[in-house]
Structure 1
Amino acid sequence: MKQITIIDYGLGNLRSVQKGLEHAKASVNISIDPADIENSDGVVLPGVGAFSDAMSNIKPFLDVLYGYVESGKPLLGICLGHQMLMTNSEEGGMRDGLGFIPGNVIRFPHSKLKVPHMGWNSINITQQHPIYEGIEDGSYVYFVHSYYVSTDDDHALASCEYGVEFAASVVNEEGNVIGTQFHPEKSGEVGLRILSNFVKMC
């Protein structure tokens, strides 16, 4: 059974993610222990809240997190965790992210559309990756966010449109760091399949 660690850094919808991964037959540990991260087959970085708070809270885990990613093991960032994977964010003033994937986190522009972007929207899968095995292009997933990720085509796995086109899912060059702006754990059967695919990658 694959051992997955959800990093508990104080900002995240941990229990729903845990249940989704357990549905995929993974053994799931919610932990702040660096040893648990190092010894895991896969790590999930969830998050709901402010970017600056998240980066401050994750500081104690930075060395082990960078080492984990360099080892080639899979890391999945969800929502705020997806944004934290990027180079920087303009939320709360320009802040550095983890830098696993080149790109910026930008606030949705003022328009007729409500912010935050909340609810179901379709994604366009722009390149093949094991995380989207069995997922149809145009599938609907659940979003809740006021900021979006802008990155180049090489690092975008899926796109979505809400006033602007943005990266709904991202990947690093090595393919082991994946982010989803949407919440797989709230996205029904499609989301459960994505979490199952992540477990298979581990």
Structure 2
Amino acid sequence: MIGIVRYGAGNIFSLTAALDRLGIPYGMVHTEADMAQFDRFIIPGVGHAGAAMDKLTASGLVPAIKALNKPTLGICVGMQLLTEYSEEGDSNLLGLFPIKTLKFAADADHKVPHTGWNRVYAEKENPLFKDIPVGSHFYFVHSYFIEYDNSYTLASTDYNIKFSASIWRDNFYAVQFHPEKSGVYGETLLTNFSKL
């Protein structure tokens, strides 16, 4: 069963609605004691990475998250929290991936935030992207991106710059897009995660 980490920085209605549609069981994680009942975790997040990290720290869950050895998926700001640093709020984050979260530079052809559907290209074989064709569209809403690092990039996207749409290290996975808002392939990804 999936434990959704509740730390006050994620609107989870779309995520829980998607899991309900898919028949994937889940519950909420408010404290470290809650974590024992789950075999995998999702860290959602919206808004400001620095503020989200402050809320996660205040929840007391940071040491437990860092110690996890079960499959864990960060979504959007939840992905950014797994990196070491964000330009948003000049913030130190969890540091589970030694890479940075940087701000997009806007230009005439690329508005910020990056909002809407974009193609995602899986670069490594991984069960998270099983049955998802390379170049499938996923839904993005973000002003900051994860710097591209081939060591950790599972899938990439281009928006004025090539960046990591998904990263992976050991039991930690993350996606910048919103699978819960990405139609059939987003639902496929959530189903795949539930089976890791």
With normalisation by structure 2, the TM-score equals: 0.95
- Once residues 55 and 18 of structure 2 are traced to their aligned partners in structure 1, the CA distance between those partners, rounded to angstroms, is 24
Distance in 2, matches of 1:36 and 1:27, equals 15
Which residue among 94, 100, 103 is the counterpart of 2:96? 100
* Alignment equivalent of 1:189, drawn from 179, 184, 187: 184
1:31 shift after superposition: 3.0
CA distance in 2, matches of 1:82, 1:193: 19
Which 5+ residue runs of structure 1 have no aligned equivalent? Answer: none
User: In structure 2, what is the equivalent of residue 126 of structure 1?
Assistant: 123
1:47-88 Cα distance to aligned partner (Å, 9 max, x none): 001111111111111122122x2xx21000000001111011
2 CA distance for matches of 1:42 and 1:75? 6
Deviations 1:141-178 (A, max 9, x none): 00000000014202000000111110000011x2x100
Question: Secondary structure in 2 aligned to 1:99?
Answer: coil
Q: Aligned partners of 1:25, 1:10: CA distance in 2, in Å?
A: 25
Q: Does the aligned pair in 2 maintain the 1:45–1:78 contact within 8 Å?
A: yes
Query: Does the aligned pair in 1 maintain the 2:148–2:162 contact within 8 Å?
Result: no
> Quick check: 2:102–2:146 contact (8 Å CA) kept in 1?
yes
The code of the aligned residue for 2:63 comes to D
CA distance in 2, matches of 1:182, 1:65: 21
Equivalent pairs counted in the alignment come to 193
Q: Name the CA distance, whole Å, in 1 between partners of 2:85 and 2:148.
A: 11
Identity, % of aligned positions: 38
- 1:1-202 → structure 2 map (5 Å cutoff): 3-59=1-57, 60-67=60-67, 69=68, 72-93=69-90, 95-112=91-108, 113-172=110-169, 174=170, 176-201=171-196
Q: Give the CA deviation at 1:23.
A: 3.1
Runs ≥4 residues deviating over 3 A: none
Asked if the contact 2:5–2:41 (Cα under 8 Å) also holds between the matched residues in 1, the reply is yes
